[in-house]
Amino acid sequence: QVRRSRRGYFANISYVDDKLGELVDVLKRTRMLDDTTILFCSDHGDMLGERGLWFKMSFFEGSARVPLMIAGKGVPAGLVKAPVSNLDVTPT
């Protein structure tokens, strides 16, 4: 059950990655990429059987740590190790 669930989860991630790639391709073709900021985030993770837990009903890292990625002109590449919140997005 864990393997099947993880396969489905990773298939979903691959699908989103593919669609994001299509969006970036359109922005490139229309010469709009340099004028676009892309923000990608999620509202929760999923335990996927880790620690015998499923779904998002815990404060363990698999459930609580989620991506927040920003790409655009003038946005420096890097990794922020400090905890952040979606509330931090608006001031930037």
Place of tokens 């608006």: 90
Dist. CA 24–CA 30, nearest whole Å: 10
Say whether pTM exceeds 0.75: no
| Mean pLDDT of each 10-residue bin along the chain, 92 residues long | 84 93 97 94 74 71 76 91 81 62
Domain tally for the chain?
Answer: 1
Containing structural domain, residue 33: 2-88
Tell me the β-bridge partners of 39.
Answer: 70
Among 74, 44, 73, which residue's Cα sits nearest to residue 59? Answer: 44
Using alpha carbons, list the distances in angstroms from residue 72 to 32, 76, 82: 11, 8, 21
